[in-house]
Structure 1
Amino acid sequence: MATVRAIHQSLIPVDTNRLEKESLKAYFLDAWNLNERLFDAIQDDEAFYLSPDPLRNPLIFYFGHTAAFYINKLVVSGLFSEGIDAEFEHILAKGVDPDLPQNLDVRDVWPTVSQIGHYREQVKSRVLSVIDTMENYISVDSKNPYWALLMGIEHDRIHFETSSVLIRQLDAHYLKRPEGWEYAPMNISNPQENWIESKGGTVRLGKEEPDAWFGWDNEYGTKRHTVAPFEATKDLITNAEYLAFFAAGYADKRYWSEDGWNWKERTNTTHPKFWVNAETGFLYRAMFDIIEMPMDWPAEVNAFEAEAYCNWKGSGARLLTEAEFNLIANMNQRAEPIHEESINLNVRYGSPTPVGYCADSKSPFNDLYGNVWDWLGTEHAPLDGFQAHSYYEDFSAPYMDSDHLMMAGGSWITTGTGASKYYRLWFRPYFYQHAGFRLARTL
């Protein structure tokens, strides 16, 4: 088992059944400082007004969005009677999820970096004042106004990860890797495709309230699945394995779904997002730098690219379903994986790790939690009994459709309750995250 070295190991979520003020304050500041450290890596204010992904706002929006979210939700919950800056709390209120770049409504004028920085300091002070004046050791459930504060902290952590994906797409000359931010070892192993059988069984999705941790609305409810026997690869697909597909079939329309090929042609995509074409072959775009290709790290691709690889492999290869993932990930009724020091979650490294490097003592499969997200072949859908939370009614409900696929397990940069075994994440199939995949097939 590998010993994982922390670069800024984030704090674990607070206990909502007995909320201790100092722990809550530390957890808030930890989330806040993660984002500060990330955006501090941008060395030129000009870069804040770039959109590294054409389907997302400029980076200046995300620098201010998480701060405005705290204020807006604390007003909705009644903990604040008014906000700080009505204009900021309007223009920074809501993110975007267009299907095409031309459907993105982008502002022409944004606040300056210093203005957003000043606003963030005001918000930080206001949030700390809420924590200082609350009672100690209270129980907070989803109906309690302080749920909005927990919601703000976890939302902050979600955007720490999603903003990191955008910043990773900036030209590297705009960035300086933060001191102490270390990438994992690479090219130290040559993992081979190894399939493990599962007899199937019954799996229950969903969490119940009360629970010791905050949860998003799409995590609550329940759904039982009877899973047929299947098998899946022990490891995530590596860059080396995906390179073989790239050479043999990435440009071949036969292996792509109709939607996938249309996306590839429309965007003129010729290789995975984080591969960098060079005269000597592909290099790799890490968080802040271009480095040699880590052949034994997982291939980070979107769902269309993952499905194309499955089709190339043939023999019924496909992505795991949500039910299958949960069956093999929780087969021993495991505790929350964020407590397991061997797993590459929670910014224990500043990058992915070689597949299987952080071996999972709870499962014969590697990297079910941490390293990179596992794309799933399941559409984002509600669990039975789902109810949108009144503080954030459009968090998940608008995205429960055939346009959004799920992913599971978290990545190296997933923190907070995003690293929970109950967390249910979704994205459009052509969107990039720190996400890869493993193969599955029905027996």
Structure 2
Amino acid sequence: MPGTPIARSMGRPLLRDLSRQQLTGYFTGTWNTYETLFRGVADAPEAYGARVHPFRLPLVFYLAHTAAFSMRKLALAGLVDQSETSEFDERMERGVSPEDPDELAGLTDWPSTDTAWAYRKRVHGIVLRAIKNVPLSTAVEPEAPLRALLMAIEHENIHLHTSIPLVRLVPSRLKETPQGWPAPVRERRGNPVAFDGGDGFVPCRGGPVRFGDPDIEADGFQWDNEWGRRETEVAPFAVAPHPVTNGQFLRFVEDGGYEKADLWTTHGAQLFLDRVSDGVPNSWLRADAGTYRYRGVFADSDMPWDWPVEVSRHEAVAYANWAGATLLSEEQFHALLDQEFGGAGQVTDRIGDFNIGLQHGSPRPVRARGAVLGRGGTDFVGNVALWLKDDFTALDADTFRVDPLYPDFSEPWFGRETGLLAGASYAARGHMADIGVMRDFMQNHMDQLAGILLTRPAP
């Protein structure tokens, strides 16, 4: 299954030095990476036409969706003539995120994969033409055509990150690693009991933290939930030296964690247990004699017990409850960045040193050889994003304003059914890799390339 080599793309391009050539390369690299993911899936109804996750639409929708989103936003900003738009754009732009998976049962009229690929080819040419004509600027107002174009690109990066867990669920006989996709990490060290948290929590002094950018015309793209500023004082706390590993999570599974109702305290947890969960993370496969294998994006393998576990928010909170700990808050995450790396800006300057941006096709062992550790020996940047304990809300409720180009991006998701994430996973690209700025979020029941970092009160 041919593909296009993955272009390295860590963070968002800055407007102050943005050229048309750079914008073209950024778009093309992002677009090709997304398509490469889907080229690893066989063109078969049970691969593209089936719902591999109870709360998600078939893969063929997501193949066409990001292109339709681009068409709609560029038309809204005046970069595409209305005569070039169609009902297909509108139909493929809007997904469905139901409260109950039965709401998706009647949605069966999807395009063929040939139609979706042809549509993407057409839209690709339209976006390239828009790049030639879009006015460039060192700052962008919320409705500026350049911002609409950047939004289309960053939306593709978001869906790369959310589509990888869906491709993971496609049966392995219906996929193979496409040409150009990075290989998973082969390094293994340790066993299920080697990572039990006994190496001690790291103290974090807390203190004043400030994050966010009140300037909505800042030097780079931002989503509306990132507009604003938050300043607060963080009490001292202790944090685990690395995210919870598959080996650590095995103990939760073997202790019957999925059957202990009192641990599952997130909104919608019972529905998740009844309709989604198989009693292990979706990144695991049950093997013979009670053993487990790792479900990779394109190929299964022996379980990497020393990699961070990848789970839904429901599972992250249940594990933390079982361990007698909590997840990080957003403010604690920024306090930890400040203490361990000197702030988000210092992490950005070294972003290529972390397992981010599809340098590898998988996580790698926690505290791996060559891993960049914080000053206290923490390993929490890259590999997986981190579920926070916070429900998803505005950065600053008093100054929040809905994005005029995308009014339903974040506000409809504020609430207890949606969790907030921080950091960046091995597959985070573009703005998704902008640690300390990107405020990612996802419904509680969706497994993500996200893991668990435990905190406890300061001793």
When normalised by structure 2's length, the TM-score is 0.89
Tell me, yes or no, if structure 1 residue 353 matches structure 2 residue 364. yes
Q: Which moved more, 1:352-361 or 1:341-350?
A: 352-361
Matches within 5 A, 1:181-260: 181-189=182-190, 190-193=194-197, 194-209=200-215, 210-250=217-257, 251-257=259-265, 259-260=268-269
- Looking at structure 2, the residues matched to 159 and 333 of structure 1 have their Cα atoms a distance apart, in angstroms, of 27
SS of structure 2 residue aligned to 1:226? strand
Letter in 2 for 1:426: F
Q: Which moved more, 1:257-266 or 1:321-330?
A: 257-266
Aligned to 2:119: 119
1:334–1:362 contact (8 Å) kept in structure 2:
no
Matches within 5 A, 1:34-433: 34-46=33-45, 47-82=47-82, 84-104=84-104, 106-135=106-135, 139-180=139-180, 181-189=182-190, 190-193=194-197, 194-209=200-215, 210-250=217-257, 251-257=259-265, 259-261=268-270, 263-267=272-276, 269-280=278-289, 281-314=291-324, 317-331=325-339, 332-335=342-345, 337=347, 339-357=350-368, 359-364=371-376, 366-384=378-396, 385-420=399-434, 421-433=436-448
2:355–2:363 contact (8 Å) kept in structure 1:
yes
Q: Which moved more, 1:202-211 or 1:87-96?
A: 202-211
Aligned to 1:3: none
1:80 Cα deviation from its structure 2 partner: 2.0
Letter in 1 for 2:226: E
SS of structure 2 residue aligned to 1:287? coil
1:307 Cα deviation from its structure 2 partner: 1.9
Change (3 A) 1:155 1:346: same
- Looking at structure 2, the residues matched to 33 and 236 of structure 1 have their Cα atoms a distance apart, in angstroms, of 31
2:392–2:420 contact (8 Å) kept in structure 1:
yes
Change (3 A) 1:44 1:114: closer
C-alpha RMSD of the superposition:
2.1
- Looking at structure 1, the residues matched to 134 and 408 of structure 2 have their Cα atoms a distance apart, in angstroms, of 28
- Looking at structure 2, the residues matched to 268 and 147 of structure 1 have their Cα atoms a distance apart, in angstroms, of 39
1:227 Cα deviation from its structure 2 partner: 1.2
Change (3 A) 1:253 1:17: same
1:18–1:137 contact (8 Å) kept in structure 2:
no
Letter in 2 for 1:55: F
Change (3 A) 1:83 1:71: farther
Change (3 A) 1:237 1:83: farther
Q: Which moved more, 1:41-50 or 1:292-301?
A: 41-50
2:56–2:96 contact (8 Å) kept in structure 1:
yes
1:18–1:139 contact (8 Å) kept in structure 2:
no
- Looking at structure 2, the residues matched to 324 and 136 of structure 1 have their Cα atoms a distance apart, in angstroms, of 37
Matches within 5 A, 1:23-34: 23-34=22-33
1:139 Cα deviation from its structure 2 partner: 4.3
Residue identity (%): 32
1:355–1:366 contact (8 Å) kept in structure 2:
no
- Looking at structure 1, the residues matched to 160 and 49 of structure 2 have their Cα atoms a distance apart, in angstroms, of 18
1:25–1:131 contact (8 Å) kept in structure 2:
yes
Change (3 A) 1:362 1:116: same
1:219 Cα deviation from its structure 2 partner: 0.5
1:405 Cα deviation from its structure 2 partner: 1.3
1:83 Cα deviation from its structure 2 partner: 5.5
1:83–1:89 contact (8 Å) kept in structure 2:
no
Q: Which moved more, 1:426-435 or 1:406-415?
A: 426-435
Q: Which moved more, 1:121-130 or 1:105-114?
A: 105-114
SS of structure 2 residue aligned to 1:177? coil
Superimposed CA distance per residue, residues 35-80 of structure 1 (whole angstroms, 9 cap, x where no aligned partner): 1101110122322111111111111111011111111001111222
Aligned residue pairs total 436
Q: Which moved more, 1:352-361 or 1:56-65?
A: 352-361
SS of structure 2 residue aligned to 1:330? helix
Letter in 1 for 2:20: K
Change (3 A) 1:416 1:79: same
2:142–2:405 contact (8 Å) kept in structure 1:
no
When normalised by structure 1's length, the TM-score is 0.93
Superimposed CA distance per residue, residues 177-222 of structure 1 (whole angstroms, 9 cap, x where no aligned partner): 1235311134224445230111221212312324332111100111
1:422 Cα deviation from its structure 2 partner: 0.7
- Looking at structure 2, the residues matched to 406 and 274 of structure 1 have their Cα atoms a distance apart, in angstroms, of 20
1:272 Cα deviation from its structure 2 partner: 1.4
Change (3 A) 1:245 1:412: same
1:19 Cα deviation from its structure 2 partner: 2.3
- Looking at structure 2, the residues matched to 191 and 363 of structure 1 have their Cα atoms a distance apart, in angstroms, of 21
Aligned to 1:10: 9
SS of structure 2 residue aligned to 1:423? coil
Q: Which moved more, 1:38-47 or 1:348-357?
A: 38-47
- Looking at structure 2, the residues matched to 102 and 52 of structure 1 have their Cα atoms a distance apart, in angstroms, of 14
Change (3 A) 1:141 1:106: farther
1:277 Cα deviation from its structure 2 partner: 0.7
Superimposed CA distance per residue, residues 375-432 of structure 1 (whole angstroms, 9 cap, x where no aligned partner): 1110111122111110000000100112111111111001001111211111222211
- Looking at structure 2, the residues matched to 355 and 149 of structure 1 have their Cα atoms a distance apart, in angstroms, of 37
Where does the alignment leave 5 or more consecutive residues of structure 2 unmatched? none
